[in-house]
Amino acid sequence: MQAEINYLGQLHHPNLVKLIGYCLEDEHRLLVYEFMVRGSMENHLFRRGSHFPPLSWGIRMKVALGAAKGLAFLHNAKTQVIYRDFKTSNILLDSNYNAKLSDFGLARDGPTGDRSHVSTRVMGTYGYAAPEYLATGHLTAKSDIYSFGVVLLEMLSGRRAIDNNRPSGEHNLVDWAKPYLTNKRRIFRVLDTRLQGQYSLTRAQEAANLAHQCLAVEPKLRPSMDEVVTALEKLQEKGDMPKRNQKERRGNAHNRSNGKPTTYPKPSASPLHV
Ligand SMILES: Nc1ncnc2c1ncn2[C@@H]1O[C@H](COP(=O)(O)OP(=O)(O)OP(=O)(O)O)[C@@H](O)[C@H]1O
Ligand SMILES: [Mg+2]
C-alpha cells in the first residue's frame, strides 16, 4: 500500500491512472484514483453481452499502444519500476479509449547495476507471469515484456490467458497459440473471429510477430518496451486496409449499378470503429 502511494504519487504520465488522494488511518486504508469511465480492458474483451460490443481492431491496437507507452515510461523512469502484475484488468479506459495502467501495489524498484532483482515470493497473476520469474523468482523488466506479450495475444485472440472452459490443449493461451503466431496461413486460427475484415494480413502478421517476440522463453530475446512502442506505432498507420474493404470502397465511389442491390456494411456511428 505504502509502496503504491510512493510510486504513484511521483509518477505522472498520460497512460498511468492518476492517484487523486489516499487515506491511511489506523486499519483504514484507501486509495482514490481518477475514475475511468469505460472500465477495464478485461471487461471489454471477455464480458460477453450487449453491454460491451466487441472492440474493433483499431481500438485494440490503440489500447495496446497506450498500455505499452505506460509500461515504457515505468521502465525508463529514473529509478526503474517493474510493473510485475501487467494484465488486462489493470488496463483502464477513458471515454476515448485511451489506456491507463492502474494498480501499482505490486510495483517494485528495478535492478540497479548488474544485480537482477530477486524476490523470494513470486507474485503477480498466473497465466501472465514470465516462465523464468515463476521458476526462480528473479524479476527483471523483461518479465513485464512477457506479460505484455500475453496481453497482446489476449487482445488479438479475444481469449483469456487461462481458460479452463476451452477444450483440453487450449487452456493455456500462450502454449496453444505460440506455434500459430509465426505461420502466415495458420495465424487466423488465433485471431478473434469478431475482427474479421478489419485488418490486413500484413498488419495481423506484424502484431502476431510482436506478441511472439515478447513471449520468447529466453528473456534476452524479448524486445524492450521502447521497441514494442515503436512497433505498435507502426501498426497504427492507416492506409493498409483489408483488400475486401478497398474493393467495397471503390465500389461505393463508382456507385456500381449492375441491377442487383449491393449490400455494404452500414457505416457505423459507434466510436468502437476507428
Ligand atoms: N479507477 C478506476 N476507474 C474505473 N474502474 C475501475 C478503476 N479501478 C478499478 N476499476 C474496475 O474494478 C475492477 C477491479 O479492479 P481491482 O484492481 O480491484 O481488481 P483486478 O484488477 O481484477 O485484480 P488486481 O487486484 O490483481 O489488480 C477492474 O477490473 C475495473 O473494471
Ligand atoms: Mg486491478
Distance of CA 185 to the CA centre of its chain: 24
| Among protein residues, the one whose CA lies closest to atom 29 of ligand 1 | 89
| Among protein residues, the one whose CA lies closest to atom 15 of ligand 1 | 89
pTM reported for the whole predicted model: 0.83
Is 53 domain-assigned? yes
**Residue ranges making up the domain that contains 93:** 36-246
Is 273 domain-assigned? no
User: What is the CB neighbour count within 10 angstroms for residue 165?
Assistant: 7
CATH number for 189: 1.10.510.10
Is 90 domain-assigned? yes
What pLDDT is recorded for position 272?
43
| Among protein residues, the one whose CA lies closest to atom 11 of ligand 1 | 39
Is 264 domain-assigned? no
Ligand nearest to the CA of 43: 1
**136: burial class by Cβ within 10 Å (0-12, 13-18, 19+)?**
exposed
Give the chain's domain count: 1
Whether 109 sits among the annotated catalytic residues: the reply is no
What pLDDT is recorded for position 7?
63
What pLDDT is recorded for position 123?
64
Is 23 domain-assigned? no
Is 15 domain-assigned? no
What pLDDT is recorded for position 240?
60
What pLDDT is recorded for position 160?
96
What pLDDT is recorded for position 4?
63
Catalytic one of 26, 85, 163, 192 = 85
pLDDT in tens, the chain (274 residues): 666 677 667 788 999 998 888 888 888 877 788 999 999 999 999 987 767 788 999 999 999 999 999 999 999 988 788 998 899 999 999 999 999 999 865 555 555 444 455 554 566 677 999 999 999 988 899 999 999 999 999 999 999 999 999 999 999 999 999 999 999 889 999 999 999 999 999 999 999 999 999 999 999 999 999 999 999 999 997 656 665 554 444 444 444 344 444 343 433 434 444 3
Is 156 domain-assigned? yes
| Among protein residues, the one whose CA lies closest to atom 22 of ligand 1 | 89
What pLDDT is recorded for position 85?
86
What pLDDT is recorded for position 265?
41
Beta bridge partners of 40: 92
What pLDDT is recorded for position 212?
98
Residue 126, C-alpha cell as written in the block: 498466473
Q: What is the distance in A from the centroid of ligand 2 to the CA of 245?
A: 38
Residues near 30 by Cβ (< 8 Å), separated by ≥ 6? 22, 23, 24
- CA 117, CA 83: separation in Å to the nearest integer? 13
Pocket of ligand 1 (CB under 6 A): 17, 33, 35-36, 39-40, 42-43, 85, 89-90, 92, 102-103
Is 255 domain-assigned? no
Q: What is the distance in A from the centroid of ligand 1 to the CA of 264?
A: 39
3-class state of residue 220 by DSSP: helix
Residue where the block lists cell 514470465:
130
CA-closest candidate to residue 181, choices 199, 154, 205, 201? 205
Residue 28, C-alpha cell as written in the block: 483504514
- Kindly list the distances between the CA atom of residue 60 and the CA atoms of 152, 168, 236, 270, in Å, as whole numbers in the listed order: 9, 27, 10, 15
For the CA of 34, the nearest atom of ligand 1? 1
